[in-house]
Structure 1
Amino acid sequence: MEKIRVFLLVCALCVSFDASAQYVGQHRSAIKTDVKIPVKAYSFDLQDVQLLNSRFKDNMDREGSWMLSLPVERLLHSFRVNAGMLTDKKSSKTKMPVPLGGWEALDMELRGHSIGHLMSGLSFQYAATRNMAFKKKIDSLVSGLAEVQATLDEDGYLSAFPQNYIDRNIEGKSVWAPWYTLHKITAGLIDAYWYAGNAQALDVVTKMASWAYHKIIPLNEVQLALMLRNEFGGMNEAWYNLYAITGNPDHKKLGDLFYHHAVLDPLAAGQDKLNRMHANTVIPKITGEARAYELTGNATDKAIVSNFWDNVIHNQTYVIGSNSDKEHFIEPGKISKYITGYTGETCNTYNLLKVTRHLFTWDADVRYADYYERALYNHILGQQDPKTGMVCYFTPLKAGAFRLYSTRDSSFWCCVGSGFESQSKYGEAIYYHNDQGVYVNLFIPSVLTWKAKGLKLRQETAYPEEATTRLTVDSAGKESLALYIRYPSWASNGARVKINGKNIKIDQVPGSYISLNRKWKAGDKVEITYPMILHLEPTPDNPKIVAVMYGPVVLAGEMGTEAMPAHAPYHDPADPYQYYDYDYNIPANLVHSLHINNQNISDAIKPVKGEPLTFKTINTTNGTTVTLEPYYNLHRQRYVVYWNLN
């Protein structure tokens, strides 16, 4: 979250309306402006996918409990202060709420962003679980915001900070990122309407759109360019999503006004000028252009999205699926030069996964699903501390570093907010569909209900701790349907498929889909096995710096807790840029070199019997044995992800 103290703009919608991601196929009867592009894979509603017991469900439950524990009065406090709704403490008959801390403190210019993320996260949780506690909290937050909006009486403006922040942004004066914050609020309100059926949320956000339209429609091109220099999240995406709901051309025009020529025109021309750009300022803009393409069919928007994704995946992405060093894109391809303690801002991966979902629905290309799996398991899943539910801002990859987590009510970094969403919507990308069948993209224990086809499909697995996934047809309609089962690119040892216990010959190769088409009946069972092997993944610019992987899983070396600061693993700076000077105090004798190559890897690294996904090294440079386990499991201690080869 870039702290540019100069210009301005807003955010975007995080999780609900991607015509390709969340919006293509989801609650389509409620959309007044449908997509104008060919769609190869439609998303299912979150309510159609029930997570079964797994690490994913555990993460989701912990996140849900955290969100429910945050008092509504404290979340609304800064909004009410801004609207002058609170009396002097001495004369108040009710106890004043304690202000939230960190980025939500009353003296922080970004205050108010978390309530938007929270409304989105609560909405996803409600859609996925139908737990009325989530809806009750959503309704309380929306009602409170509506009251603030009415009290402000500023033509629909709604925020926890005064409108002059927007004026300062337009004038090019110093201010953090007011449009970024407004984006989170608009996105959260749209999600509350979309996923939780809160009609008041749509009324509030429509009034916000009216204010925004009259605020910026008079601006000339020079003023707009100045305004858009400041971080504005996915404000374009949010307005396009609202346009899809309302059909109001003013809402589309708002999205168009947030087209940032300086960043997007080079991408449209196929140029890679991302080096040193603030990554999470750029990525949400791409999601907005993806939404624009879906609603208009404009080929330039499609080129922007495709070119951006290809550039980032091939030139900017670390082994865990993350990107950025100190929040900025790096010199293209030079991964080995930027393995630091400040890699992998989690918001970036959250937003890039949104872009990826758009692209998958357009093309149903397995490479998008492969990336989604890598980033989901190796970065997003590991963002959360399993012991407390707290989350990371950066995901440091420097040898000997460790994760630093938020606190419950006094951090509220951008990655806390996006974490509310990421950890609440694991059901969104497991399955997709076309008219002929279901794509099984992720191997996560879950139950899919496809009402239109009469299909109920149960997926049971301990993947990636085991190589086999079992699909059971609990109910089926009368027509034939295909199961398109992802054949991961990493599965170089082949695949085995059984239907009702009988081996099935397959002709597909890794990096494709295994298609099983038949008239299914209740009780039919499919088993798919992808044997996993150890392999090394070198950095693109230096083959002597490698990560160790087992199938899709990045393994990290356990390095203990020697010399870790007393406060670790928690860190609560008001300013995230304190991270840039953070001292991990890494011991000088820390081992991060191996005598190994892909030919001898099975001799140099041995599995630990009875401990899935756990291995021991044989050939470290000083002879020390190191335990390797999944990076997503390695919390509260030092680790090594990238190793030097000798």
Structure 2
Amino acid sequence: MKKIRKFLCAGFLALPMGVSAQYVGQHLSAIKAETKIDVKAYSFDLQDVKLLESRFKDNMDREGQWMLSLPVERLLHSFRVNAGMLTDKKSSKTKMPQPLGGWEALDMELRGHSIGHLLSGLSFQYASTGNIAFKKKIDSLISGLAEVQATLNEDGYLSAFPQNYIDRNIKGKSVWAPWYTLHKIVAGLIDAYLYAGDTQALDVVNKMAVWAYKKITPLSQEQLALMLRNEFGGMNEAWYNLYAITGNPEHKKLGDLFYHHAVLDPLAAGQDKLNKMHANTAIPKITGEARAYELTGDAKDRSIVSYFWNNVMENQTYVIGSNSDKEHFIAPGKISEYITGYTGETCNTYNMLKITRHLFTWDADVKYADYYERALYNHILGQQDPKTGMVCYFTPLKAGAFRVYSTRDSSFWCCVGSGFESQSKYGEAIYYHNNKGVYVNLFIPSVLTWKEKGLKLRQETAYPEEATTRLTIDSVGAESLPLYIRYPGWANNGVGVKINGENIKVVQTPGSYITLNRKWKKGDKVEISYPMTLHLEATPDDPKIAAVMYGPIVLAGEMGTEAMPPHAPYHDAADPYQYYDYNYNIPANLVHSLNINSSNISELIKAVKGGVLTFKTTGTTNGKPVTLEPYYNLHRQRYVVYWDLN
């Protein structure tokens, strides 16, 4: 597996979220292009990390059930219609499959994108669980797509819409992001090949690449520039990933052709021109440049990625780790002016986490793991409604707003698609490794198996509901092996570390790694505790507007359901801006002001006895107590995240 790791773990597929050893381990010849950069940390395969019972596993299980419940015939229907195929193949008495709704409806120009996300999500679920039901679903979908591709007989073109959409895009005519949709399909096929061992998927995607190469290599630079003005997702990343598998220079050329000069050149020059730019059009381009850097070693690509990430963290990121207002980047640093009902498109955070994983493997810097934790707990985990498994598009931060969730088969927004992936790969960033030892980056109940070192490491915790996580060595080789335990930047109250019950002196400081290096024995136990405290995090441009946090967790005030529409919080309109209105019908008397500051917060906000991460504040301006709980837990009601401080 060493060769695989050199190829993959430096960043492939967002620093691979787990390649199925049952497949790749027997097909080393599949690895054609190795990374050209030095790597500080490698990702583990998804199959090497098993989630134990927790909210994360619950979310993943709900997402898996949803994906399995979507009928193959309905998912393929629009593809078959586009190919002029008979959609009722069994008999004249068989009920015709109904097309899916929302963004997958037959009159939507983005139709077909969800099947790509589904292939990725199903593949991650299969790698994480080994459940053969996911594999069978993948194989059925790809068999159907291969049949559509053969029927179309257009040099390998495959989509649920005609090539005319691409032609319109190339000419600069109005069309809704056809390359974006194709990116999802290409990425899903690659994931199915790597994580589920579906060789037909590689055949289908190779044929798509043949078509794409013929389609766009004859274009002039002016034509390419016009084409790339339209959103194309991470098309560059997908072609680079295919090149890494095949070594075919045409596939690398395709990735190069999706270099968008208008967006990327200013970033390479250290110029911030993000204001008003459509955020999720820009972010996936950066992931593509991360792959380009790993495959070529070109320092320009690295500078683009690093500058972009640092800029977004400093100037664009809300307290929950999200970014964007009404899908666009805001004026740099002006967070307080953009606290609306349309903040935090969830796709953006999904893609920022992909970039973050690349950066972590290059440098093994704890700041990347700190951001990953914040965004994962406060945004991604809370994207899913635990009652139904449905997911939200925006994560509104306007005082008194509420989350609005998709429906099962009648919305299929972009964030439904990325949610299929995000909610299916929680094991991807808990652990990393270098040549010697293991990084423990996230405190999520799980079992890690590192076959090369004979290590089986079990992590048990109720974090963040408790401050302590416990690591047990279930098996280990004879050599010394360091554990690098993340010492979060937020943990200013210190840390307690015990090995087999004995206190260990810690010399490191927050924002670093605690190294525990020894010859471990089976049954050895490590206990790490990070005391959490209440604190305020103000917006960078206005210290009088702030969120309440407990350790890394954003707390939100419960505001009830007054004046919420009867069908809230679920909605299936194709346009997410048609949720209700920009004001969410917020009651005029809703309180969102606190008489609190950093010095008296612990006096005015108290833990609720017997509650779990539940607090009450009497510091409201009207004197009425408000219950605070983690933002990721607050569903189907109004809330306040950012408070006006008096």
User: Which TM-score band applies after superposition, normalised by the shorter structure?
Assistant: over 0.9
Cα offset, 1:87, TM superposition: 6.2
Deviates more, 1:26-35 or 1:146-155: 26-35
User: Where does residue 437 of structure 1 map in the other structure?
Assistant: 437
The range that moved more, 466-475 or 17-26, is 17-26
Q: What amino acid is the match of 2:305? A: V
Which whole-Å deviations, capped at 9, do the CAs of 1:244-282 have from their partners, x for residues lacking one? 000000000000000000000000001110000000000
Report the 3-state secondary structure (helix = DSSP H, G, I; strand = E; otherwise coil) of the residue aligned with 2:124. helix
Q: SS at the partner of 2:535?
A: strand
For 2:227, the aligned partner's letter is M
Matches within 5 A, 1:229-308: 229-308=229-308
Q: Match of 2:133, as an amino acid?
A: A
Give 3-state SS (helix, strand or coil) of 1:427's partner.
Answer: coil
2:11 counterpart of 1:18: yes
Residue 131 of structure 1 deviates from its aligned partner by: 0.1
1:589 and 1:629 map into 2 onto residues whose CA distance is: 21
1:109 counterpart SS class? coil
SS in 2 for 1:419: helix
Report how far residue 93 of structure 1 moved: 4.8
Q: Residue 474 of structure 1 aligns with which residue?
A: 474
Q: CA contact under 8 A between 1:74 and 1:98: conserved in structure 2?
A: yes
* 2:4 match: none
How far, CA to CA, are the matches of 2:591 and 2:294 in structure 1?
A: 50
| 1:615 aligned residue | 615
Shift of 1:17: 8.8
1:349 aligns with 2:342: no
Aligned equivalents of 1:17, 1:391: Cα separation in 2: 31
- What SS class does the counterpart of residue 142 from structure 1 fall into? helix
**How far has the Cα of 1:22 moved from its partner?**
2.6
Q: 3-state SS of the aligned residue for 2:140?
A: helix
Q: For 1:470-496, what per-residue CA distance to the aligned partner results, in whole angstroms no more than 9, with x for missing partners?
A: 000000001111000000000000000
Name the SS of the counterpart of 2:58 in structure 1.
helix
Matched, 1:113 2:106: no
Deviation at 1:571, TM superposition (A): 1.4
After superposing the two structures, state which structure 1 stretch, 534-543 or 86-95, moved more.
86-95
Deviation at residue 498 of structure 1 after TM alignment:
0.2
**Contact 1:120/1:192 (8 A) holds in 2:** yes
1:65 CA displacement: 0.1
Distance 1:491 1:414 in 2: 35
Taking the aligned partners of 1:287 and 1:432, their CA distance within structure 2 comes to 19
Unaligned ranges ≥5, structure 2? 1-7
**Counterpart of 2:427 in 1: which secondary structure?**
helix
Q: Are 1:383 and 2:383 an aligned pair?
A: yes
Q: Which runs of 5+ in 1 are unaligned?
A: 1-14
- 1:582 positional shift: 4.0
* Residue deviations 1:66-93 (CA, integer Å, cap 9, x gap): 0000000000000000000026899845
Cα deviation code 1:98-148 (max 9, x no counterpart): 110000000000000000000000000000000000000000000000000
Pair 1:25–1:66, CA change in 2 (3 A)? closer
Q: Quote the Cα distance in structure 1 between the aligned partners of 2:10 and 2:77.
A: 29
| 1:449 match: secondary structure | strand
Give the Cα–Cα distance (whole angstroms) in 2 for the partners of residues 90 and 142 of structure 1: 19
Q: Is the 8 A contact 2:9 2:44 kept in 1?
A: no
Partner of 1:5: none
SS at match of 2:606: strand
Alignment of 1:327-406 (within 5 A): 327-406=327-406
Distance 1:118 1:590, change over 3 A: same
CA distance in 2, matches of 1:516, 1:87: 60
- Is the partner of 2:184 in helix, strand or coil? helix
* Cα distance change, pair 134–20 in 1 and its aligned pair in 2 (3 A): closer
Correspondence list, 1:182-581, <5 A:
182-579=182-579, 581=581
Aligned-partner Cα distance in 1 for 2:211–2:581:
41
| Cα deviation digits, residues 566-605 of structure 1 (max 9, x gap) | 1100111112232494441111110100011111111010
Q: Quick one: distance in 1 between partners of 2:63 and 2:9? A: 18
- Note if contact 2:571-2:579 (Cα within 8 Å) is conserved in structure 1: no
Aligned to 1:64: 64
Write out per-residue CA displacement over residues 194-248 of structure 1, whole angstroms, 9 at most, x where no aligned residue.
0000000000000000100010000000000000000000000000000000000
Amino acid across the alignment from 1:46: L
Matched residue SS, 1:388:
coil
* Counterpart contact for 2:18–2:47, Cα < 8 Å: no
After superposition, the CA RMSD in angstroms is 1.5
Q: Which residue type is aligned with residue 613 of structure 2? A: L
Superposition deviation, residue 19 in structure 1? 3.1
Give, as a single letter, the amino acid of the residue that structure 2 aligns with 1:60: M
Q: CA deviation at 1:499?
A: 0.3
Q: Distance in 1 between matches of 2:102 and 2:522?
A: 53
Specify the SS of the correspondent of 2:428. helix
Amino acid at match of 2:609: K
Contact 1:402–1:637 (Cα < 8 Å) also in 2: yes
The residue identity in structure 1 corresponding to 2:151 is T
Residue aligning to 2:5: none
Kept in 2: contact 1:79–1:160 (CA 8 A): yes
Aligned pairs for 1:24-43 (under 5 A) are: 29=28, 30-43=30-43
Give me the whole-angstrom Cα distance separating, in 2, the residues matched to 1:446 and 1:320. 24
Deviation at 1:356, TM superposition (A): 0.3
Aligned to 1:4: none
CA contact (8 A) 1:458 1:471 kept: yes
Match for residue 3 of structure 2? none
Deviation at 1:536, TM superposition (A): 0.2
Deviations 1:410-447 (A, max 9, x none): 00000000000000000000000000100000000000
In structure 2, distance between residues paired with 1:315 and 1:436: 37
- Note the alpha carbon deviations across 1:291-348, whole angstroms, 9 max, x for none: 0000000000000000000000000000000000000000000000000000000000
Q: Show the 5 A alignment for 1:158-173.
A: 158-173=158-173
Contact 2:18-2:127 within 8 A present in 1 as well: no
**SS of residue matched to 1:536:** strand
Q: Distance in 1 between matches of 2:315 and 2:480?
A: 42
Residues 20/636 of structure 1: CA separation in 2 closer, same or farther (3 Å cut): closer
> 1:69-84 maps to which residues of 2 (within 5 A)?
69-84=69-84
* 2:153 corresponds to 1:153: yes
Task: Give the AA of the match of 2:472.
Answer: T
Query: Do the aligned partners of 1:20 and 1:43 also contact (CA within 8 Å) in 2?
Result: no
Contact 1:17 1:241 in 2 (8 A): no
User: Which residue number in structure 2 is paired with residue 9 of structure 1?
Assistant: none
CA distance in 1, matches of 2:387, 2:164: 42
The sequence identity of aligned pairs, in percent, is 85
- Secondary structure of the 1:426 match is coil
Q: Identify if the C-alpha distance between structure 1 residues 507 and 20 changes in structure 2 by more than 3 Å, giving closer, same or farther.
A: farther
